[in-house]
Amino acid sequence: GQPLLYSGTFDCFRKTLVGEGVRGLYRGMAAPIIGVTPMFAVCFFGFGLGKRLQQRKPDDVLTYPQLFAAGMLSGVFTTAIMAPGERIKCLLQIQAATGETKYSGSLDCAKQLYREAGIRGVYKGTVLTLMRDVPASGMYFMTYEWLKNILTPEGKSVSDLSAPRILFAGGLAGIFNWAVAIPPDVLKSRFQTAPPGKYPNGFRDVLRELIREEGVASLYKGFTAVMIRAFPANAACFLGFEVAMKFLNWIAPGL
């Protein structure tokens, strides 16, 4: 029954910038930044492992459903790293919006969560993180491989794809990834920032409350902001991966 704090993405951006300055736009980012390197390492490792588990020979070409399954495995692997970082990030961002100061930073937030509820408090929302990352990661990698194949000129190898085409494929893969991930991400964020005991039945209670009070469209809250970030962030991610793989294959071709 309270008025909305922000009317939309750009209103949120303006109010955050006015109220907290540029630093406010990066509130709660310490935990994700700390986890991003091992998370992506595990993510791409999981995808590679998922492909190998389905190949009878190393040069077997996988179907798109098989690539989707390999991507889903990577989502399982990354949840162990993502869940606590997401919990801390969401709590710090909500704290900044409400004006209360319970946590002085990411480390203090992690300490307090552990003190209050043990490891379960730190990993609250893990099931919803899995529900977000498993199908989204499947879509992410499958779309990227599909676009690479489409963008490869006839008679050329996928490995010879130019940097602009890799950036385009990676950016679109990020958009497809978040198109799948946004609804469970909204549920996860609501559940992770709720007071203890508010949702005894987990995501089912969150889903019922959200649809009852705000309608189905509320599952896509933040769509604009996420999509603005999705293309450049994931374009850079895949370009970095491809460059790193070419470099590693150059210095250690038999590895």
Give 128-177 as a DSSP string: HHHHHHHHHHHHHHHHHHHHHHHHSPTTS-GGG--HHHHHHHHHHHHHHH
Averaged pLDDT for residues 162-175: 96
Is the confidence at residue 5, as pLDDT, over 60? yes
Is the confidence at residue 1, as pLDDT, over 60? no
CA distance 184 to 222: 12
CA distance 88 to 110: 7
Conformation bin of residue 155: beta by default, left when phi > 0, alpha when psi is -120 to 50? left
Residues 6+ positions from 50 with CB-CB distance below 8 Å: 69, 70, 71, 72, 73, 74
Please give the pLDDT value at position 164. 95
Averaged pLDDT for residues 230-235: 94
Share of the chain above pLDDT 90, in %: 50
Is the confidence at residue 29, as pLDDT, over 70? no
Is the confidence at residue 195, as pLDDT, over 80? yes
Answer yes or no: are the C-beta atoms of 33 and 24 closer than 8 Å.
Answer: no
Please give the pLDDT value at position 255. 62
Q: What's the one-letter identity of residue 134?
A: V
Answer yes or no: are the C-beta atoms of 42 and 81 closer than 8 Å.
Answer: yes
Decide which of 96 and 119 is more confident. 119
Averaged pLDDT for residues 61-88: 92
Q: How confident is the model at residue 82 (pLDDT cuts 50, 70, 90)?
A: confident
- Considering the entire predicted model, what is its pTM? 0.81
